[in-house]
Structure 1
């Protein structure tokens, strides 16, 4: 038996380990009690958010208390006949649990009860936790309170299998079994603490999660001029319902503001409903009142914003890029901040207005075009702003077969029925380009002129005489823009097709 081979030093070591575990269990019991009381307080203050979590915690606590008390009673019974419960060197026999749990090859009623407690606690804790949450804790509980495989067995070092309870509790010295029971109690306390912390802190984490926060800028003023040093600070604030003020007392430049008319309370603070007012600095002062732990907590408000005059410069930008292309209808946005679109005008060769601030530029000859925008400010002053754009031609198209450019591989029959096209690769505008003709060159044969974008009889005849591996050239591709045939595209790059049969 294992007990016969265990020295007094080892027995004492087990005893010392048991004492440390019991001390740790006492401390964790107090800690868990604090967590439970904290969750109870939260549930009483905010039943909507914490009520169901508190019920989960109560279930786990009851399971833990019952299991812990059972193990404590078992330990008390185990050491009842000893003169000194801490004289570990005399605890070298295995009689107590051997007789209590086992009867031949079967378990006694007490042995079955011991197993039932393990399984009931494990499954009860897992079922008490919300579905689809706390998967890490559930896995830890399964591992800590595992009773072997599906048949309740574990594999020994020699490869044989033995019932879990026999493997752990049959034939061991009393002090070792006592320590194992105390370790089970430690596992209960650890599980209880993980659950309570996750239920409490998990909900608090959700409450303070970055998903429930937003940012805002706080500065000495809300408008700065070029050359000023910006002194703003990024402020992080909550935006969930727990951060909604219960009341507010605010003034704007000394004038008392009215809830509903000038502002409204919402998650994260107060939404202002006031007008920007006359140009200049404006101050909002007062207090916001929040509820915290059942008490009203005031928060001082002392902020300012600036209203500035309308700008006097136009904003002109090409919607696609910083150039305009000849032969293309270039969309443009032309506006002057602070001036309605119907009071803004723009002119340039090839420029036409569509609606609002939307224009189209169709540049003609030359390398640049200057757009002049003008508008009338509310004070009657007219401003004029010019902007110059480069004019570029449409890039050189590339010949394509089946939408592939450059060098292509395909069977001869596929090429015979393919459509020859031209593409503008990496061009920001969608243009419909048609092909009116091309030339085909098969090695060792004269070039064939084709009208249209499909192979004619002569081209197909030349292809039939081609051999596998021949590089067929398609060149002199005549391409045009379908809705602007007057624009002459650059020479189209040829495409080479290597025949695979």
Structure 2
């Protein structure tokens, strides 16, 4: 029954049992038997304590299962199967223990009830069929057993017919139940804990050659057993000095020619080992619920922003959360734009700060963070990738009093800004036509104001308001007139009044003269007036010019013009001409 991690009390029990077995062939004194009584009482007390601890552990397990049914479910089902197997074994051992004592001490009783009554009256049995933590328990007072040193009847009951094993001996039934229970414990705890469980009943004893033949291992491997030779509890031993190859089984070594008090103590010890194994297995199953969870030793608040740079009109978005981290250093290897891998180290709070110096344009990076898997103990890769865009530096400077556009003409509009997305612009009135990448023509409507709104990727990047005005009036002029003087021939050659936009930067702006009044005064003092319905000289005006003398004055006034906007305007400033 060795192999498990034992408490000091359990070690003492095992030692006492070995001492007693060594003295069986001698005339064992009453003191030795009394010592077994003391050990047995201690084991029974330990069993009560273990039963309470197991009950508390299952209660805690059930509460965990109610909180996390999906995660804890598979382990809870294993625990239920384990508990069923443990109950079956312990109930069997308790009944076996009472049956053994009853056959020796209460042989005159005709019924089980009569035997129990007899044992209760004599103090041999402190209770009968008591349930403790759902399990039946027979509390036997071995100090009241009269035949404590009887070994004939216990041997016959436990070993059966001495001519062959397995012929009705209860030890063989017990061994099989222990093997089945141990297998359930191994399933719960896992192969890594197989050597901690103990309760091995399928050992092979004999000479080296016999054990090697049965275990089918070499002599070299045999020396490393049971670490390499244990399969669901199989344990191989050999005796260098033994010449007898006959197998001594677990049943034989524990129950052949052992006295009653030793058998009772051993059976209670088996219960103790079974409860210890059950408690360890249930504890392991509870641990397995979160075996793959990461553990952290620090907790704090962190803010993760979508962007630290916004354009006017965009909404700042961030996530604030309480997070946990390990103080242990974590490393990451990162490649930028397919370049060589570079190693980064965390700042001690689980954050790995990445820094890139890149040119204008789109960039992509990818990397791997390595962390220790809490379940396997091996490094596990966690990959990531992301991208970003670098925009050139941009600044906007504008004259706030010059935000003017003009009706009747296409006003060129340039829209810049935004990163990583198409720019779209729209006008609140009139029409806005795209002419190129970020360039538009605005043809205002009748409103006195127009607003240009800009969006990118569905987000507003801002807007700009413009005042809408009529085109300014042009300047009226006649070709060839210099400083108000012109010759008759030069004036005749000019032939018309024109309108010109001076110092106006808009292309395509044009005014036509649609009428004016012509006045002149002769030397005799006579004043004459003529009307024109276009910019050209009429016959009357041409005739007046041809008859003019040096010094005569001509005035072109009330000049009317019509521009691109279709509106007729009057130029208030007249043109005065003196014939030279």
Q: How does the TM-score come out when normalised to structure 1?
A: 0.42
Larger Rg: 2
Q: How does the TM-score come out when normalised to structure 2?
A: 0.36
Greater percentage in strand = 1
